[in-house]
Amino acid sequence: MNNLLENITAIEISTVIVEEIIDEIFIPWEVYQAIYYISCSNLEKSQVDLSLRDRYLQLRRQLELGYALLLVDPNSRLYNRTLESEIKRDLLILAQKDGDWETISTRLPEPIPSSRDQTMSAVYKLLSDRDFLNILRQLNKIQTVLERRDRILRQNPSRQTDITDTTYAQTSIQLNGKIVNRYSQAILERSDLHLLLQLHQQSTAAGEEQWRGLVKFALTLVSKQLTNSFSWVKDKI
């Protein structure tokens, strides 16, 4: 029940113009492995465009940062009291985009253990944590955008502009019913402005309807649970 309520605290609808639509299949271990092994040397070997390498490295930093925050959160299943003070010192560096965060030893388990004495249990535990998976999903979206940009630059190295998957409109609906709309300045310059706004409005309406259904379903479950609990207490009396 708690997981259900946490998962419907908000719903987000975004309207984005992309070069192509690619089916996104989220396989946690594959995403984790891809981001974990990001490094200057690996980016150079892969010949990732120079203009994107810093962004890839920031992706790796965010993975480390997200994990560190879970390790010091008492409400997290990954909370580690023993390392809390040590990790909090590292957070001062990890939180800075331009900080020397790469000098900090990673605490993330290797996707593929390099020693016979190591097992996959740490990775399994990590990838079964809902909060960490949420972080991984968000980073996967950024990674997908970066990979798409890199492909475009490989095909046309001179194309340095107009390759960003710009989010033109975004709406979030929170659990308390508050609706927040954000619009990019770039949307005002598009000839299909009205069409984009119309499509976003339709998506928002569909998302709001889905959100209301989820909230109604959750409240129904809570009501039934309270009724059953009350009946059990009454019978005992």
Q: Any idea which residue has 């598009």 for tokens?
A: 190
Q: Which two tokens stand for residue 184?
A: 């990019």
What is the pTM assigned to this prediction? 0.68
Question: Could you tell me which CATH number the domain at 1-17+166-231 has?
Answer: 3.30.1310
pLDDT of res. 109: 92
pLDDT of res. 36: 95
pLDDT of res. 73: 94
pLDDT of res. 6: 52
pLDDT of res. 145: 83
d(CA 80, CA 89): 14
> Exposed, middle or buried by CB within 10 Å (0-12, 13-18, 19+), for 149?
buried
Domain boundaries, the chain: 1-17+166-231, 20-165
Q: Which two tokens stand for residue 69?
A: 């925050």
Distances (CA, A) of 128 to 125, 154, 206: 5, 36, 30
d(CA 148, CA 146): 5
pLDDT of res. 231: 64
Per-10-residue mean pLDDT, the chain, length 237: 53 70 79 94 92 93 94 93 91 83 88 77 91 92 86 73 64 75 81 88 85 79 73 59
pLDDT of res. 163: 45
Q: Which two tokens stand for residue 111?
A: 């996707």
pLDDT of res. 33: 95
